[in-house]
Homo-oligomer: A and B are copies of this chain.
């Protein structure tokens, strides 16, 4: 694997959903991959993946699938990664590079360190910052990663050649590579991704519990619809992420509840200035940092 831009003869994707499937499709489109083998729990999803040309072959057993692989992408919900790693480790070859697509990094790195054994030096922790609220192989498309960031969190043990291969594969998908410390990664994404998901899930969940939910939601407009778009995301995947990143997430959840309590206090007491100040801070920050408008 001395030339990182070399073709990946055999790619194994464990978990052929939006993330894993789009990686396979993008590498195929770039002419960077030979054979793609998919592994997954759902036969129906794997059949769809073959039908759609996302993978070339489905193999039920991950350990069997990874034999002779050049690259293995573990793209399951993070809660399943320890089991996958423990299962494939004995079957991994001496030059097979392993990477992941998990939204949390400290826990995945700890699992890999524990379960991949000597193969840990060829494990490259990664997190592509892309996705939609849709899931499954049918949601995959080759352009998902174009101009998106992929975070890599290499460890002291990570070999340069393994890092170069994963880096070049994501670049072939059109992505930009950003290296981040794993702890910092988890703090950042707790704030800009994991917390917003909890915010959206909890909002719809609370409204859905009401007896008049159908009536209420029938009157909703585009505002609510956009606010809770990400509440359409995979419950299992987000359950795992929230629990994996619990420390950073709980700190932020507490800060958020405090901010809501501040808003509540201002509304209750009719303190228009305090309320308008909070709303104005939000509007300004959104313009400056989310829309990246000048000023």
Chain B positions within 8 Å of A220 at CB level: 192-193, 289-290
- The one of B193, B202, B261 in contact with A282, judged by C-beta atoms closer than 8 angstroms, is B202
User: Which A148-174 residues have C-beta < 8 A from chain B?
Assistant: 148-149
Q: Which of A45-53, A61-69, A88-96, A264-272 contacts B (4 or more CB under 8 A)?
A: A264-272
CB of A260 within 8 Å of the partner chain = yes
In the assembled complex, 14 residue pairs joining A and B whose CB atoms fall closer than 8 Å, in A order, are A149-B219, A192-B207, A193-B221, A196-B227, A200-B282, A213-B285, A217-B290, A226-B226, A228-B286, A232-B291, A233-B283, A238-B279, A242-B267, A243-B272
Given A206-B255, A230-B226, A217 contacting B289 (CB threshold 8 A) = yes
Interface centre among A204, A228, A250 (most CB of B within 10 A): A204
CB of A129 within 8 Å of the partner chain = yes
What's the minimum C-beta distance from A144 to chain B, rounded to whole angstroms? 11
Given A257-B261, A260-B256, A272-B243, A281 contacting B205 (CB threshold 8 A) = yes
Q: Is the CB of B232 within 8 A of A287?
A: yes
Cα–Cα, bound, A206→B255 (Å): 7
Chain B positions within 8 Å of A82 at CB level: none
What's the minimum C-beta distance from A272 to chain B, rounded to whole angstroms? 5
Cα–Cα, bound, A235→B216 (Å): 24
Chain B positions within 8 Å of A222 at CB level: 132
The 3 A-B residue pairs with the shortest CB-CB distance, nearest first, are A208-B285, A235-B279, A217-B289
